[in-house]
A = this chain, B = another copy of it.
């Protein structure tokens, strides 16, 4: 509901109008079923019903389209986390909920999640960005760790991201029990501070 509307507006605009949006919509759709590497510009163009090279009127190259898709992925991830955080009512429970939401989003949309983070996919320089997800994480870290907020931020992100990746790559069982065992504030982060 943020950027992509599957509804009328986009569909009406196919033949001449909003090819750019159509490509992103179709691309996001394709990412629900296939890995990013396996998606060709030509195939997306075919689906939209346009010639292969028309894509280049809206994106300089394939990577640019992927970056646009990555941006949409980050937005959706942030929204999923915000919803989870609110549902848990904030506080420590909310913090853990955002972590679990991060991992569950990755499992629900593997290709999109991978694309969003692969190779500087969405962020410019290092550090957290201005997306919803980053702001939410920072807020929680500051709330709980005060002076050690920086460290907590990094550790929390690393745990969630690592768990998500290991599950996506088939190295850890992708079930709720494992998620809950790892994303557990009772046994994580309870050091000094």
- Contacts A119-B170, A123-B170, A170-B123 given; indicate if A158 touches B155 (C-beta within 8 A): no
Within the complex, the shortest CB–CB distance from A106 to chain B, in Å, comes to 11
B187:A117 contact, CB within 8 angstroms? no
B169 touches A163 (CB 8 A): no
Q: Which of B148, B172, B182, B186 contacts A126 (CB 8 A)?
A: B172
A residues with a Cβ closer than 8 A to B are 35, 37, 117-121, 123, 125-127, 148, 150-152, 154-155, 157-166, 169-174, 178, 181-182, 184, 186-193
Interface centre among A157, A164, A186 (most CB of B within 10 A): A157
Q: How far, in whole Å, are A192 and B187 apart by their CA atoms in the complex?
A: 6
Listed A/B pairs (26) with beta-carbon separation below 8 Å: A117-B165, A117-B171, A119-B169, A120-B169, A120-B170, A120-B171, A121-B169, A123-B171, A126-B172, A126-B173, A126-B174, A151-B187, A155-B159, A155-B182, A155-B188, A157-B166, A158-B159, A158-B163, A158-B166, A158-B182, A162-B162, A162-B164, A162-B165, A186-B191, A187-B191, A189-B191
